[in-house]
Amino acid sequence: MERSRTEDLVGRLDAVERRLSQLERQGLSVGGPTASASQAPESEQAFWALDGLKARLAPGAGAVMLTGFVPLPTGEQYAWQYGQATEALLGASWLELSKTIAALGHPVRLRLLQLILTGTRSAADLQSLAEFGTTGQLYHHLRQLMTAGWLIQTTRGHYGVPGDRVIPLLVLLLAAEH
């Protein structure tokens, strides 16, 4: 079991390194200094993130970026950004992403993620809430979220949202508002 987890982590690290290399080849940069919105007059602040992204692109190129800083009620903090060139996004296999997105399409799973992000992390505590039905139903939803990468089991019977998924999850929720 430990070897499988190690192999999984090595695979994920390799994927991150490939993504970073791809971004660098496309003229996008991850990390580096961040601009403070208070450094510019209010009229220039409206698109400060977009302006920064456009400044890093090659002429005629396009890109999409996710970024955020999230202090959670649990005391954890996440600062994260990720960008992808438009050409790469449009050329990717969207069908492969459908399971990841579909896992969020159930109200019980979204509620589980919300509770876990805000501190209710044990299966026993989650099961004590009537909204999740039977133990079997609860574990079915937890497995679906784990399979899609939205949850990890931190210790036996305890769950967490992987750090690299916190901001993308909140971005998807933000996008659903519009």
Q: Quick one: which of 31, 34, 2 has its CA closest to 16?
A: 31
Percent of the chain with pLDDT strictly greater than 90: 65
Q: How far is it, in rounded angstroms, from Cα 165 to Cα 177?
A: 19
Residues 15, 8 contacting (CB under 8 angstroms): no
Q: CA 30 → CA 81, 134, 174, distances in Å?
A: 7, 43, 22
What confidence score (pLDDT) does residue 130 get?
Answer: 85
- Please say if the pLDDT value at position 66 is more than 50: yes
Q: Considering the chain, tell me which residue range(s) the CATH 1.10.10.10 domain(s) occupy.
A: 93-178
Give CB contacts under 8 A, 24+ apart, made by 92-97: none
Read off the pLDDT band of 41 (50, 70, 90): low
Each residue's pLDDT tens digit, 128-149: 998 988 999 999 999 999 999 9
Instruction: Enumerate the β-bridge partners of residue 122.
Output: 158
The model carries a pTM of 0.70
- Of 3.40.50.970, 3.10.129.10, 3.20.20.70, 1.10.10.10, the CATH number of 93-178 is 1.10.10.10
Q: What is the mean pLDDT of residues 68-86?
A: 93
